[in-house]
Amino acid sequence: MTSPVKVYGTPLSTAAARVLACLFEKDVDFQLIPVNLAKGEHKKPEFLKIQPFGQVPAFQDESISLFESRAICRYICEKYADKGNKKLYGTNPLAKASIDQWLEAEGQSFNPPSGALVFQLAFAPRWKIPQDQDAIKQNEAKLGKVLDVYEKRLGESRFLAGDDFSLADLSHLPNAHYLVTATDRAELITSRKHVERWWDEISNRDSWKKAVELQKSP
């Protein structure tokens, strides 16, 4: 019997939540090994051996040890191609290319401004860090422009990469979730008809609901 894959991190981390949602979508058993960021466990030498940048998540499966959430998700999809949602990372080069394109758009265009807004609006107040109003204004404007592109795309296509829910859609869930549920800028998503329809559909997937459930008892 093979042992479950290991995820090091906390489900409250957006990057770790991406990997957890992917594992649920692929129906792959995992063991979550808590890393307490508040206690600085991610900067300890033992952890730096598996994540040299000192960030969560880190991941281990048999002899492989990986970091970077999107790379981990791609590995899970390739290694466990026959399990769970088989279309999550496409089944042919054309589908994969489109998924990769929107996965890159998430990492390069959506994540920076949405991550900055989530940090400023949801986490800075919790951690008693002063909010940077200029950063909020600039990132809100940047994210608005990105979401205008998404609005057009999602007016033509049910999901970002086509007719099927994919890793590209899944990868947006953690930041979008905090934006909608933990900031007062939910309208960035809900004021755009097609983006809102997409958000409703992807955030109601069982895989994401299970990842959110884990956040309640991290």
Ligand X SMILES: N[C@@H](CCC(=O)N[C@@H](CS)C(=O)NCC(=O)O)C(=O)O
Site of interaction with ligand X (CB under 6 A): 13-15, 37, 42, 54-56, 68-70
Which residue, 12 or 180, is less far from ligand X as judged by CB? 12
Nearest distance from C-beta of residue 104 to ligand X, angstroms? 13
Residue found under tokens 């979508």 = 25
Pick 118 or 154: Cβ nearer ligand X: 118
**Nearest Cα to Cα of residue 9 among 71, 57, 70:** 57
Please report which helix (H) or strand (E) contains residue 104, including its range. helix 93-105
Q: How far is the CB of 182 from ligand X (least distance, A)?
A: 14
Please list, in sequence order, all residues whose beta carbon lies within 8 angstroms of the beta carbon of residue 169, skipping any fewer than 6 positions away. Answer: 102, 159, 160, 161, 198, 202
Question: What are 85's two structure tokens?
Answer: 């949602």
Pick from 70, 79, 49, 57: nearest CA to 6? 57
In the complex with ligand X, which residue's Cβ is closer, 124 or 201?
124
Q: Residue 112 Cβ, how far from ligand X at the closest point, in Å?
A: 11
Q: How far is the CB of 20 from ligand X (least distance, A)?
A: 12
Please identify, using beta-carbon distances, which residue of 42 and 205 lies nearer to ligand X: 42
Q: Which residues contact 3 (CB under 8 A, 6 or more apart)?
A: 31
Side chain identity, residue 111: N
Q: Tell me the C-alpha distance between 88 and 83, whole Å.
A: 10
Query: Which residue, chain included where needed, has tokens 């042992």?
Result: 3
Cβ at position 93, least distance to ligand X in Å = 24
Kindly give, in sequence order, each residue whose CB lies less than 8 Å from that of residue 107, ignoring residues fewer than 6 positions away.
70, 171
Phi, psi of 59 (to 5 degrees): -145, 140
Residue 69 vs 114, nearer CB to ligand X:
69
Nearer to ligand X, 171 or 207 (CB): 171
Q: Rounded to the nearest whole angstrom, what is the least distance from the CB of residue 56 to ligand X in the complex? A: 4
